[in-house]
Amino acid sequence: MSNIVAIVGRPNVGKSTLFNRLTESRKAIVDEMSGVTRDRQYGKAVWNGIDFSIIDTGGYAVNSEDSFEAEIRKQVMIAIEEADVIIFVVDVENGVTDMDEEVAEVLRRSSKKVFLVVNKVDNNSRIIDSHEFYSLGLGELFCISSMTGSGTGDLLDAIVAEFPEKVEEEPEEKIPHFAIIGRPNVGKSSFINALTGEERNIVTDIAGTTRDSIHTRYNKFGHDFFLVDTAGLRKRTKVKEDVEFYSTMRSIRAIEDSDVCILMLDATRGMEAQDVSIFHLIERNKKGVVILVNKWDLVEKDNSSTITFTKAIKERIAPFVDVPIVFISALTKQRILKALETAVEVYENRTKKVKTSELNEVMLDAIEAYPPPSIKGKFVKIKYVTQLPSQTPSFAFFANLPQYVKEPYRRYLENKIREKFNFSGVPVQIFIRKK
């Protein structure tokens, strides 16, 4: 089961800066003006070998303080319901505010573990000032500076200690999970209904009809797996209801718990920025991915339509372009079985193991034909390669000077592996290790 951490707090306390620090990214926009974070931000973090998702709940630009307090209260309630751990961020410069007290009151009544994080503590005098936050009644304080990273190590130690230990699943429960992911109203529920021949999932023209992740067992034509219909992921600016945060978290959890993600696009709209964000979320989670272009029956086509559309998609998702793309219509059932067969093939690719002897025979020839470029007069020699015993395809190349193997050559090695062995739809990791 995946672990989800939600960051909550009033505007301008440093939530986005902390999010960037923990995820080692610059995804969230940081500005001194409050309410900058509008779109939902989600990312991956790893600490002590344990990975988890982080949701930055963000602040909203609104006209009145009263309406904001109502919104953030709803955010906190939903975060409490769905997240495993809550990080409540406060600002030592401003001290305890009325809004902090409101949020703390809700958090005290919850059964979830809450970490009270006092931000902007970058000197000893501010440590003394932070003691007033004990009045919120949330126990131990974690004094940090999200700008410099001070104190975040202790915070992360405490967070990962709260996660439940992973329990090995019984073999009979290891049935593949295919998650249907995409923006609202692209036809995810219609696709599952067309496959199963049942009107199990509600379908309307109104975006956001599906609120929860719905599991459907598919056991036909020699296949046996779960199809998971998720709520659509969309931008915060398009959302008017507080259920959206809940739906987003459920969709992220569905991605993390799946084996293959079927990303559906609307052929009438093409691949938009939100689709690219969802794709990269799937890629970061190391899941198999198939792209389905739905509503293909509504598009005016010529002989080069599929080629043009495919090229446009691959330009948006580069550099990971070895992804199968299937053009379908859930309404007319055009190519829906082809879509399913492709997803099954990607699942098999994700679990594929290549023999070490075969791998070395192919890759050492490729390395000899195009060796790593020399740096500072030093030559890199790669003598051995093996597939690592990981859940997703990972390969270790053993070299005398691994630090000199740069990203372009890693991509060359990955491309050669993909060229010789079929890993379509699956992210491949390349590691260079000391011989």
At residue 366, the pLDDT reads 95
Nearest to 178 by CA among 209, 223, 210, 245: 223
Q: Phi/psi of residue 193, each to 5°? A: -60, -40
Q: How far apart are CA 89 and CA 14, in angstroms?
A: 7
Split the chain (435 residues) into runs of 10 and give each run's mean pLDDT.
79 83 61 39 79 70 46 62 86 87 83 90 86 90 89 92 66 72 82 70 38 59 72 50 52 81 92 85 91 93 91 93 94 90 94 94 95 89 94 94 92 95 95 90
Task: Quote the pLDDT of residue 41.
Answer: 61
Return the pLDDT at 123: 82
Q: Which residue has the tokens 């008017």?
A: 240
Supply φ then ψ for residue 28, to 5 degrees.
-85, 130
Matching residue, tokens 């030093």: 378
Query: Position of tokens 């492709």?
Result: 342
Task: Check residue 333 and report its DSSP letter.
Answer: T
Beta strand 85-91 pairing with 41-47: unpaired
Residue whose pair of structure tokens reads 């199990």 in the numeric block: 200
Beta bridge partners of 91: 119
Residue 174 burial (10 A CB sphere; 0-12, 13-18, 19+): exposed
Q: Could you tell me which residues come within 8 angstroms of residue 342 by beta carbon, excluding any fewer than 6 positions away? A: 290, 324, 326, 425
Nearest to residue 405, comparing CAs of 390, 385, 425?
Answer: 385
pLDDT value at position 350?
94
Q: Whose CA is closest to 262, among 176, 201, 332, 200?
A: 176
Q: Omega before 319 cis (within 30°)?
A: yes
Q: What pLDDT was estimated at residue 173?
A: 52
Q: Exposed, middle or buried: residue 36 (CB in 10 Å: 0-12, 13-18, 19+)?
A: middle
DSSP 194: H
Structure tokens at 368: 């000899």
pLDDT for the residue numbered 23: 81
Pull the structure tokens for residue 159.
Answer: 């967070």
- What tokens does 310 get? 């495919």
Q: 158 with 115: CB under 8 angstroms?
A: yes
3-state secondary structure 265-280: EECCCECCHHHHHHHH
Among the listed residues 212, 280, 237, 275, the one whose alpha carbon sits nearest the alpha carbon of residue 58: 237
